[in-house]
Amino acid sequence: ELLQTARAAAVLSHPNIAALFEIGQDGPHRYLAFEFAPGELLSAKIGGHRLDVRRALDFAVQLADAVAEAERHGIGHGDIRPETIVITPTDRPKLLHFGLSGFADGASRGATAAAAKLH
């Protein structure tokens, strides 16, 4: 199921989704290599404070477009929350580990740059 989901996620190409570049195995360990998404996690960016309404709506529209694109491919994210969204230096939200959160062991900010350890 993991490899099937990863292969499906690898076809996603959207400016608000961190791309999955490689699916591989190193000995007994499988890995996924995602696009590095520079920026700050949304959870850190808001830090318990409200976002400006216009900015929040802009983020919501961009993220909804990303989710709609994935749904067209039959893929759901499964774990959208402030810890799975990076706000890039150009102020664009980017969804991390799309569709694969349930498989990653401790998937975090670092998983966007390299490989997430998988079950």
Identify whether the C-beta of residue 106 lies closer than 8 Å to the C-beta of residue 115: no
Q: Is 80 exposed, middle or buried (0-12, 13-18, 19+ CB in 10 A)?
A: middle
- The one-letter code for the residue type at 71 is E
65 alpha carbon, distance to own chain's centre: 14
Q: Which of 52, 58, 79, 105 is catalytic?
A: 79
DSSP 82-111: GGGEEE-TTS-EEE-STTTTTTBSS--GGG
Query: For this structure, is 105 an active site residue?
Result: no
Q: Which residues are catalytic?
A: 79
